[in-house]
Structure 1
Amino acid sequence: MTTGVVLLNFGEPSTADRDVVEDYLQRIFYSNMDIEEDPDLTPGAAQKRAKKLAERRAPGLIEEYEEIGGGSPLNEQAAAQADALEAELRNRGYDVRTYSGMLYTEPFTHEAAEAAVADGVDEVLGLPIYPLCGPSTTNLSLDKLADGLDEAGFDGDLHEVSGWHRHPTYNRLRADNIRTYADAEGVDLHDEDTELFFSAHGTPKYYLNEGSRYDRYVEEWCAGVAGMLGLDSYTLGFQNHDNRSEVAWTEPDVEEAIEDVDAERVVVEPVSFMHEQSETLSELDIELREEAEAEGLDFYRVPIPHDDDRFPSVLADLSEPVLADFDPEYFQFRQCQCRDKPGTMCLNAPAPDWD
């Protein structure tokens, strides 16, 4: 039996061409129009609204892409991760094909679904590369994959994994990555004048009010990694977007949080990211650095360990219950509480009471 493992991601343009960037942004704004909570917004009006927002945001994002080399490296890094996962799973003895599917750029999720069906896979596993489960990332990606498979006429089984930020090896590789970087830079994480600063991708409060646990997942992950590093204190801020002034986002914003740091230097760890992209290379390396230095802080940003040798093993561990056909609860998977679809498994749900 051949299994197609589709690694699901957000996607970013690899070029700074205006048409490409505007189309990318329009897809994002239209897809997340619910956060404006406007009951009178028809689909046609929503498309126009998304186009207007995209045209307004595009110049700034194009400038960011030009500052980081003309485009995002996200898709290239995601493709390399898919190749590494296929090699790891084949080394474990499984008959698999891996695919990379993006929400908002090529290769789109439906294209990955079409490719898997064309290759004749017998079953499909959807595996989002978002460690922290969220409705506009994890759940939407899984929805798009299911829709794409239906449209392609797939009649096999679809398996889904959602949140997996509690995977022990994932936590260890992130903690090791922080420590290794700090040591290389000659920074003592335990110095009272050094502050570990977690910068998490923000989310609209609309989703939290609708039941998303994303903010809690962020908080528990930061506490866990800080504990692995032997740190009692740290700062957490959220990278929010102000494209829609009427939409409230997670707090505190990174710019506000950086102002409250009482130290001489910050070591910034990007939370929620497994690829370098505009949110790290521009929003952190350029914009947040300027904010930190304006506050008199020395600024250090931890690189994303997208090519860590252990990461393919993490993804393989998440895939293995499906491939080996054993009870996912053996690996501490539970029915996902953030996704109303029976059979979607995650590492975040509490275990049932033992008899």
Structure 2
Amino acid sequence: MSVDALLLLSFGGPEGEADVRPFLENVTRGRGVPPERLDEVAQHYLHFGGVSPINRLNRDLIEAVRAAGVGLPVYFGNRNWHPMIEDTVGAMRADGVRRALVFPTSAYGGYSACRQYDEDILRARAAVGDDAPELVKIRHFFDHPGFVLPFADAVRAAAAGFDSYRLVFTAHSIPNSFDATAGPAEWGGHLYSRQVAEAARLVALEVGVAEYDVVWQSRSGPPQIPWLEPDIVDHVDALHAKGVDNVVVCPVGFVSDHLEVIWDLDNEARERAESHGMGFARAATPGPDPRFADMVVELVQEHLSGVVPRKLSPFGTAGCTVNGEFCAVACCEPPARRPR
């Protein structure tokens, strides 16, 4: 395949106090989230001066990918904040790009982790028009060595100060109904939670830890709707009740230190552990690791040169799409919303 560019596609985040509320309104548009909930979440961002680290970390990743020898112009677009994907794809067209690969900053399947990026691509191409560049989204990479091995080293570093500890993996929670519809029906659904569990298994295996936990964080829905559980803060309470002295948390669901990582883990979970007198350490995310940038280049080479995909699990290779056309019928669709 011949391509002209690489597009890094991400979630987006505010870069100043004035950005916070408009950003949150973009994230929650059409979901009926009450204003008081937005006010609550806004305080998490304002605690850090209204700046989420995600855009800076993505720009750093882009520079690392260039330095790793990707050999293509690299563009940056977001779903929810500037630079917006519609504007970026328009700039790509103006620059003469006809076909580009898309690297989404999510390793997993599922609606928010995968299919919504396809919807972003469809929306952006529709906004640009008939001569929009062809966009080919790169596959899931939760089981790639460039994702797993940096996490394993980060766990070792985080645990270095403890004689014993409980290893706990976290990922962003989603509604149970979304998880049930994640993946083609013939795969049995639950693609997101199964891939998260597999990534956790691979990291634990590399570290040499036989017993560990997979829990969830950052739920934001109404309490009457079931989400994946247990929550990390509740799980810290449960570990304390069992007599666990030290906990090492690995945010295996995240590529880099999103605000959910630095707020929900570095603040809330840490404070809960310390209130129990427990030791707490959080493993670093892999985005800044040079092996992660090398992985991005390798994923590009799978398309350009037919490089055989490297993966550490028996899961099938999935998630690659062309122009936002979904890789399987009814894959990772959100359940129909109930009429209000």
Tell me the TM-score normalized by structure 1: 0.80
Q: What is the percentage of aligned positions where both structures have the same residue?
A: 25
Distance 1:149 1:338 in 2: 17
Residue 24 of structure 2 aligns to which amino acid in structure 1?
L
- Find the partner of 2:80 among 104, 107, 114: 104
Deviations 1:146-175 (A, max 9, x none): 331243243553312231111122211110
Matched, 1:268 2:249: yes
1:135 — aligned with what?
Answer: 111
1:181 — aligned with what?
Answer: 158
2:204 — aligned with what?
Answer: 226
**C-alpha contact 1:139 1:339 (8 A) present in aligned 2:** no
Distance 2:262 2:202 in 1: 25
Distance 1:215 1:240 in 2: 15
Q: How many residues of Structure 1 are paired with residues of Structure 2 in the alignment?
A: 311
- Find the partner of 1:73 among 53, 56, 59: 53
Q: CA deviation at 1:259?
A: 1.8
**Matches of residues 1-355 of structure 1 in structure 2 within 5 Å?**
3-17=4-18, 20-30=19-29, 33=31, 49-50=32-33, 53=34, 55-90=35-70, 94=71, 96-152=72-128, 153-154=130-131, 156-183=133-160, 186-188=161-163, 191=164, 194-212=165-183, 213-261=191-239, 262=242, 263-324=244-305, 326=306, 330-331=308-309, 336=318, 344=327
* 2:137 partner SS: strand
Distance 2:114 2:87 in 1: 18
Distance 1:135 1:113 in 2: 22
**C-alpha contact 1:208 1:214 (8 A) present in aligned 2:** yes
Q: CA deviation at 1:82?
A: 1.6
5+ residue gaps, structure 2: 184-190, 329-340
Greater RCO, CA 8 A, separation 6+ = 2
**C-alpha contact 1:258 1:291 (8 A) present in aligned 2:** yes
**C-alpha contact 1:197 1:266 (8 A) present in aligned 2:** yes
Q: CA deviation at 1:66?
A: 2.9
* 2:166 partner SS: strand
Q: CA deviation at 1:206?
A: 2.0
Q: CA deviation at 1:113?
A: 1.2
5+ residue gaps, structure 1: 34-48, 346-355
Deviations 1:59-109 (A, max 9, x none): 32232223234411110111121222133234xxx3x11112111111112
> Which stretches of structure 1, 4 residues or longer, exceed 3 Å deviation after superposition?
153-157, 332-335, 337-345
How large is the RMSD of aligned CA atoms in angstroms? 2.5
**C-alpha contact 1:132 1:164 (8 A) present in aligned 2:** yes
Tell me the TM-score normalized by structure 2: 0.83
**C-alpha contact 2:8 2:105 (8 A) present in aligned 1:** yes
Distance 1:316 1:337 in 2: 17
